[in-house]
């Protein structure tokens, strides 16, 4: 660490539909490149590198992405949030900025990451849910079967079956620490917390869970695929827009409650007498 630099942590949100993902790429607009440009406008004295807790794919949203960068400028910490938001597009919002020790790292210091996937399981479309959920309308999902499969993943295992091609990881071993699956009316909400995630892991996993929920895939087949690392049999990936990076956890809390990670809304469909979706109903 260069003398005179300080490390700043940000809690940020972004609408992933506008970006090619978090990481800077040769083609396409990334969240990282847009954020680094805004930081450099405020602190032009050195090259800027923003480091994130999790690298989200193209189209994936974030409610509590944690980012750090090093600054050499005089801007006080309480000014960074408004200063950056004034330079960023409305698809990226900084919720809070705090000072951190120079030994702290947004990615390497994290003890967990957490994602939420939202499925809209209704016959009728909903314009306002469409950007944030996967609309599955042919069958009523069997959430109990999906939950049973999801809970079987808990622990440290090789999850290579849920890893997209192109990953730089040496292996597919990670620890799934907590899982949740609940139905709220026509919404099926899946949350997974792990020490780390493989490239494309959640979208491939949700694709398999939906196949289970629609009874197109048997539980024993699902278990054999991931336990025997049969990546070639895992073909359907859930679309990116239903996935949100909720946030990352650390040994100590440093953001305020307002800047904490779980800021993605839990949708509730309040209908007095909602129409029942039959076990099999094609709405075409």
Residue 113 predicted with pLDDT over 50: yes
Q: Do domains 6-100 and 112-251 have the same CATH topology?
A: yes
Q: What is the spatial distance between Cα 199 and Cα 83, in angstroms, rounded to a whole number?
A: 33
* pLDDT score of 274 more than 60: no
What is residue 44's predicted lDDT score, i.e. its pLDDT? Answer: 82
pLDDT at position 284, please?
Answer: 39
- Taking CA 205 as the corner, what is the angle to CA 194 and CA 15, rounded to the nearest 5 degrees? 75
pLDDT confidence of residue 276 = 52
Rounded CA separation 146/205 (Å): 11
Residue 282, pLDDT > 50, answer no
Where in the sequence numbering do the catalytic residues fall? 57
pLDDT tens per residue across span 35-60: 999 999 999 877 899 999 999 999 99
The reply to whether the predicted model has a pTM over 0.85 is yes
DSSP annotation string for 90-112? TTEEEEEEEEE-TT--TTTT-SE
Fold of 112-251: Alpha-Beta Plaits (3.30.70)
Domain 6-100 indexed as CATH 3.40.50.1820: no
Q: In the chain, what are the domain boundaries?
A: 6-100, 112-251
Model confidence at 273, pLDDT cuts 50, 70, 90, reads: very low
Q: Give the three-state DSSP class for 143.
A: helix
């Amino acid at each position: 660490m260069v003398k005179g630099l300080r490390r700043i942590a940000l809690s940020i949100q972004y609408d992933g539909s506008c970006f090619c993902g978090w990481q800077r790429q040769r083609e396409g607009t990334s969240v990282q490149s847009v954020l680094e440009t805004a930081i450099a406008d405020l602190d032009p004295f050195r090259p800027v590198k923003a480091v994130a807790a999790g690298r989200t794919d193209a189209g994936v949203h974030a409610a509590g992405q944690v980012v750090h960068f090093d600054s050499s400028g005089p801007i006080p910490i309480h000014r960074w949030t408004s200063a950056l938001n004034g330079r960023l597009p409305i698809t990226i919002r900084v919720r809070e900025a705090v000072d951190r020790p120079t030994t702290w790292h947004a990615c390497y210091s994290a003890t967990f990451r957490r994602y939420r996937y939202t499925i809209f399981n209704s016959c009728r479309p909903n314009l306002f849910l469409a950007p944030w959920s996967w609309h599955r309308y042919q069958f009523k999902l069997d959430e109990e079967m999906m939950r049973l499969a999801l809970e079987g993943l808990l622990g440290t295992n090789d999850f290579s079956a849920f890893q997209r091609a192109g990953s730089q990881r040496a292996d597919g071993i990670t620890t799934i620490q907590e899982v949740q699956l609940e139905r709220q009316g026509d919404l099926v909400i899946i949350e997974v917390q792990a020490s780390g995630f493989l490239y494309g892991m959640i979208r491939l996993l949700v694709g398999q869970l939906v196949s289970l929920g629609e009874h197109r895939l048997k539980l024993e087949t699902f278990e054999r695929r991931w336990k025997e690392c049969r990546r070639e049999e895992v073909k359907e990936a859930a679309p990116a827009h239903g996935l949100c990076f909720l946030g990352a956890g650390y040994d100590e809390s440093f953001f305020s409650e307002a800047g904490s990670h779980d800021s993605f809304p839990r949708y509730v469909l309040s209908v007095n007498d909602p129409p029942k979706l039959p076990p099999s109903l094609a709405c075409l």
